């Protein structure tokens, strides 16, 4: 082998052997070799080379290899986290036609990516900082840890030409008399098991199947049970053909009608309940002029469903149902300016397992405040 001037290069066998041993030990450490194994290898190499050594020197050298690999591992993990954060942001916005109002938070990112150690969280914060520098996201003023997504494909909200016609929807128990629903809205119905959630959603389909293109997604009823439930309404089964009935238990955002009335009975998550907020966001992003009404399970004695407060974020209307009571937890747009529906509830009975009957107070009032 020649150098740059055409002269033969001197070959140093000792240096070559040391280099090969270095990369060999590094490879062993990278593949999980223990400190004891590294020390044993170094001891044998020194014996072969007839190099004097002490156990302390061998131990210190092994620790150097292990620390070097640990640092490299942390660096690789940090780079991996940055990639994961970018993918996480993309998954939250990939279906959104307009990102300008979409917020993301460090806390949600920690949860979704299962980042627990201080080093992992620090790497996540660094990733967010770099994305700010790249112009992908921007921090939201006065809201620590909250960011707004930025993208060159952002569509500005054309409020001047927006269609302000409310979405034509009728609810059981007259909820629509208190809350206005507009196009591209998510509505949540959180209910205890056997509290009337399915009966409410079937009544919702019945009340709107003549005026809207209704699709009903069932995650637990088969065709036979559905027929039995529909017969309780005492109307010809032929009439129910106006509703499209679909058996589905997941990926609703990939199946919903973006311009119709979608009724999801119900959104199942067996574990990692923090994902429900993201699933509702995906459903919202898939809508255009339509509406999705999503059933959730909820624990007894609580207003919000499994998934907690995150399930409130995207809902323009949030209802809580338990035996004999329906409550408006969140009604974003009031139907009457002087009547705040939030917190109002109504009592009901279920006739024949299908028809809701209002139970008024002694003074004849129906909806009331606690």
Residue 256 lies in a domain: yes
Tens-digit pLDDT profile for residues 150-187: 654 445 667 788 888 999 999 999 999 999 999 999 99
Residue 126 lies in a domain: yes
Residue 286 lies in a domain: yes
Residue 223 lies in a domain: yes
Asked if 20 and 113 sit in the same domain, the reply is no
Q: How buried is residue 242: exposed, middle or buried, by Cβ count under 10 Å (0-12/13-18/19+)?
A: middle
**Are 323 and 193 in contact, with CB atoms under 8 Å apart?**
no
Asked if 222 and 339 sit in the same domain, the reply is yes
Q: Domain residues for 353?
A: 167-358
Q: Across the chain, what does the average pLDDT equal?
A: 83
Of 290, 340, 293, 363, nearest to 321 by C-alpha is 293
pLDDT at 334: 95
Residue 366 lies in a domain: no
Tokens of 17: 């052997």
Q: Choose the weakest-confidence range: 85-89, 90-94, 241-245, 283-287.
A: 90-94
**Are 233 and 281 in contact, with CB atoms under 8 Å apart?**
no
Q: Check pLDDT > 60 for residue 7.
A: no
Highest mean pLDDT of the ranges 153-157, 268-272, 354-358 = 354-358
DSSP secondary structure string for all residues of 301-317 = T-SS-TTGGGGGSSEEE
Residue 364 lies in a domain: no
Asked if 180 and 311 sit in the same domain, the reply is yes
Residue 78 lies in a domain: no
Domain termination residue (choose one: 44, 73, 102): 73
Asked if 197 and 339 sit in the same domain, the reply is yes
Asked if 238 and 120 sit in the same domain, the reply is no
Kindly state the average pLDDT of the residues 336-358. Answer: 93
Residue 204 lies in a domain: yes
Greater pLDDT, 238 or 133:
238
Asked if 348 and 282 sit in the same domain, the reply is yes
Greater pLDDT, 84 or 167:
167
On whether the pTM is more than 0.75, the answer is: no
Asked if 180 and 318 sit in the same domain, the reply is yes
pLDDT at 266: 84
Of 172, 175, 104, nearest to 138 by C-alpha is 104
Q: Choose the weakest-confidence range: 163-177, 300-314, 321-335.
A: 300-314
Q: How far apart are the first and last CA of the chain?
A: 91
Counted domains in the chain: 3
Kindly state the average pLDDT of the residues 177-206. Answer: 95
- Distance in angstroms (rounded) separating the CA atoms of residues 94 and 97: 8
- Distance in angstroms (rounded) separating the CA atoms of residues 232 and 130: 59
DSSP secondary structure string for all residues of 209-252 = TTTS-EEEEESS--HHHHHHHHHTT-S-GGGGGGSEEEE--S-G
Asked if 208 and 234 sit in the same domain, the reply is yes
**Residues facing residue 147 across a β-bridge:** 104, 139
Asked if 174 and 105 sit in the same domain, the reply is no
């Amino acid at each position: 082998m020649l150098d740059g001037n055409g002269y033969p290069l001197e070959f140093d066998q000792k240096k070559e052997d040391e280099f090969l041993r270095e990369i060999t030990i590094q490879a062993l450490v990278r593949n999980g070799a223990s400190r004891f194994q590294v020390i044993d290898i170094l001891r044998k190499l020194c014996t072969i080379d007839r190099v004097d050594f002490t156990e302390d020197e061998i131990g210190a050298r092994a620790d150097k290899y292990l620390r070097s690999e640990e640092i490299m591992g942390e660096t690789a993990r940090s780079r991996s986290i940055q990639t994961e954060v970018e993918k996480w942001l993309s998954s939250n916005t990939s279906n959104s036609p307009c990102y300008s109002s979409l917020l993301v938070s460090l806390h949600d990112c920690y949860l979704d990516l299962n980042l627990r150690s201080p080093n992992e969280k620090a790497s996540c914060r660094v990733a967010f900082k770099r994305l700010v520098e790249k112009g992908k996201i921007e921090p939201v003023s006065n809201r620590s840890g909250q960011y707004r997504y930025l993208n060159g494909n952002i569509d500005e909200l054309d409020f001047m030409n927006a269609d302000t016609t409310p979405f034509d929807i009728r609810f059981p128990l007259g909820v629509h008399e208190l809350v206005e629903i507009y196009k591209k809205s998510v509505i949540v119905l959180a209910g205890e098991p056997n509290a009337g959630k399915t009966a409410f959603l079937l009544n919702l389909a019945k009340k709107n199947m003549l005026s809207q293109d209704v699709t009903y997604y069932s995650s637990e009823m088969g065709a036979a049970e559905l027929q039995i439930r529909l017969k309780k309404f005492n109307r010809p089964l032929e009439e129910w053909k106006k509703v499209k009935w679909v058996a589905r238990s997941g990926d609703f955002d990939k199946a919903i009608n973006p311009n119709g009335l979608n009724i999801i009975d119900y959104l199942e998550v067996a574990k990692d309940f923090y994902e429900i907020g993201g699933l509702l966001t995906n459903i919202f992003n898939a809508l255009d002029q339509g509406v999705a009404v999503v059933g959730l399970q909820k624990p007894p004695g609580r207003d919000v469903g499994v998934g907690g407060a995150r399930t409130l974020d995207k809902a323009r209307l949030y209802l809580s149902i338990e035996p004999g009571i329906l409550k408006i937890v969140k009604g974003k747009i009031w139907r009457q300016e002087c009547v705040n529906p939030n917190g109002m509830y109504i009592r009901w009975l279920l006739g024949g397992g299908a028809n809701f009957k209002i139970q008024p107070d002694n003074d004849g009032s129906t909806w009331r405040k606690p």
